[in-house]
Amino acid sequence: MAEKISEKVKNFFQKKKADTKFRKAGPGHKLTESTSSNTAAPKPKKPGYIAPQRNTPSDVTRQAAEAALARMSSQKKDSAFNTSLAAIQAKVRRELEAERNNAQPLAEVPIGPKETELEVSAHLAVKGVYFRCPLVSDEVLNKEDWKVKIKEFLFAALEEERGITACLILYSCNYNRTKVQDCVNILCRYIDNIIGNPTETKFHRIRCYNPTFTDKVLPVLGASEFLYAAGFRQQRMEHNGVEEDFLVWSEENVGSLETLEFLRDALKSENRVDLELDRNLQILSPAQAAVRLELPQDFYAISPEEIKKEQQSKSEMAEKQLQLRTKAMREKDELREIRKYKFSLIRVRFPDGLYLQGTFSVYEKLADVLDFVRDNLEHDGLPFILTTPTGQKFEEKDFESTLAELRLVPATILIFEWDPAFNEEIQASGNITYLKPKIMILMQEL
């Protein structure tokens, strides 16, 4: 049954994606057409980051590096972009020179907001946290906007697949998990009572003014739609000498008890429309990255009121720092601090002074950061390493650790460098560039 539900949900999503492709295809084309003008080969997925061997690079790594070096030597740059690139490099050199003259180090993003400013600031490192939902559209929106979009999308799909869609609405459009689970438990009880006692009419009726129904079922989006798909219809019936509204089940409305079993299992499967975190990629010059910026409220797992309480207790924390505490006590406080955050802002500083910035979930792995960097490198075949500003190098065992576990939360700067095993060859190529041209252009739009 679980496989049948999975296949049904999969088909639902595939149909919606096909509908989206059809809308984009324009007139006069079939989705199954394979013409060179409107069908492109799927882009192969890039392999995950392979940890370079410090002393003896593997044959695969050596071949990839040699291929990248060959491209660096033979690649012809677009003259239109060269002018733009030269301007960017000149600007960066001027800013680096100004920094050296002023002897002011680059400032990292602070751990928390300013003590007296909780309102939206004009100096945010990012404006917010943004997401994608390819099933619905190609837009990049914040979570609140997506809540509206997903709700509209699912309710529009109710007529063609009411049962599955109602289950998706339940889990995708309600944000109090406790209330959703309570509602699901009650709905499953309704269905189980009918399946276990198909001829017992008392299980075929739900009184609309029953406190349990009005408090725990009716307010939950998707619950009424699910009951309709399960064969319930509203009727006026007599109860204790008074006419009241009831939801009455009939097998004619649902087809068979097997359909009820399918809907119950679909309800328990907890399928939902998920969002994908957008990296909100930005390129920063040294001057832009040097400004002390703040993180928006979206990065926090706690409310502004809770943040204010945290700030009021800073003096107490300062006193604690002066006390002798065990390692376990310090780690406990550190983990409590990390749990305040849902997202982490990662800046990767390149030797030419530019910064590559992206947003990550605190539960994503270091390998995801490495892949993010690789995807934006002009020469992605060359091995590289990332280190912390203190010089700490990440080992291969760290790649599967989360950003929270590595304490790279809520914001950090990582230093980029090519693998030392290939430094001489890269220097000899005489063409040291880091980021892709289309990525470099983004800096001018900030």
> Taking the CA atoms of the chain, what radius of gyration do you get in angstroms?
28
Rounded CA separation 282/159 (Å): 42
390: phi then psi, degrees, rounded to nearest 5: -85, 0
Angstrom distance (rounded) from CA 169 to CA 150: 9
Sheet with 355-361: strands ordered across: 282-284, 355-361, 343-349, 411-418, 384-387
Q: How many residues does the chain have?
A: 446
Query: So what's the pLDDT on residue 37?
Result: 44
DSSP state of 203: G
> Which pLDDT does position 310 carry in this prediction?
61
Residues 6+ apart with CB under 8 A from 12: 157, 161, 164, 165, 168
pLDDT, residue 15, reads 72
Beta-bridge mates of residue 393: 387
Tokens of 59: 């044959």
pLDDT number for residue 146: 96
Task: Write out pLDDT tens, residues 107-139.
Answer: 444 434 333 333 333 445 788 999 999 989 999
Confidence (pLDDT) at 323: 59
Q: What is the distance between the alpha carbons of residues 62 and 75, in angstroms, rounded to a whole number?
A: 20
Q: Please give the pLDDT value at position 159.
A: 87
Split the chain (446 residues) into runs of 10 and give each run's mean pLDDT: 66 68 53 46 45 56 68 53 55 64 45 36 71 93 95 92 94 95 97 94 93 96 96 90 92 92 94 94 88 77 64 60 59 64 93 93 95 91 89 91 91 90 72 85 67
Q: Which pairs from 422-425 meet CB under 8 Å and 24+ separation?
A: 422/57, 422/65, 422/69, 422/382, 422/383, 425/65, 425/69
Q: pTM score > 0.75 for this model?
A: no
- Tell me how far apart the 2 most distant CA atoms of the chain are, in Å: 95
